[in-house]
Amino acid sequence: MNCPFCRYADTRVVDSRLGKEGNNVRRRRECPSCERRFTTYERVEEILPWVIKKDGRREAFDRSKIISGMQRACEKRPVSVEQIEALVDQLERKFQECGDKEISASLIGEAVMDTLHDVDEVAYVRFASVYRQFKDINEFMSELNDLLKNSH
């Protein structure tokens, strides 16, 4: 592991600990050249499906995009960062377990909306309004009415 400070190529591990969830390892490292310490996190590289975008492009699954979208939808709502990360972990596992090599972006968006619907209805509406790109207020009101019907 290269030192992030001086770029020395051979750092040593001072301490290793299992992460909170047990799915990663936290390592404290020290550089023998500049003697600075830093932390790295190691996790199993899981094989996730490629994402097929609306325009047909294919790109690697990017967990950070889902987290970012959910964080924006949950801004100023009673949903913690830990909750969001746990929800994304569940979604990621679901996409891995399906066994498909490719998955459509729309399937991911729908799964995120379903998840947010169960967690926080305001966050769900926020995410849906961006994801579904409502063309006018009538489409938006229709979605809100469906939400109200299903919540009673």
pLDDT digits (tens, 9 = 90+) for 14-49: 999 987 777 789 999 999 999 999 999 887 766 789
* Domain membership flag for residue 121: yes
In a domain, 21, yes or no: yes
Q: Do 88 and 96 contact (CB within 8 A), yes or no?
A: no
Q: How confident is the model at residue 152, as a pLDDT?
A: 53
**How high is the pLDDT of residue 24?**
85
Residue 27 has a pLDDT of 94
**Residues 111 and 73 grouped into a single domain:** yes
pLDDT at 37: 97
Q: Do 33 and 79 belong together in one domain?
A: no
CA dist., res. 93 & res. 107, Å (int): 14
Say if residue 75 is in the same domain as residue 142. yes
Contacts 24+ apart (CB under 8 A), 14-20: 19/43
- 70 and 136 in a single domain? The answer is yes
What's residue 145's pLDDT?
A: 79
Task: Look up the domain containing 63 and give its range.
Answer: 50-151
Q: What is the pTM of this model?
A: 0.61
Q: Answer whether residue 2 is part of any domain.
A: no
Q: How many domains does the chain have?
A: 2
Pair (18, 62) in one structural domain: no
**pLDDT below 50 — which residues of the chain?**
none
Q: Is the dihedral of CA 126, 130, 131, 135 positive or negative?
A: positive
> Would 3 be classed as within a structural domain?
no
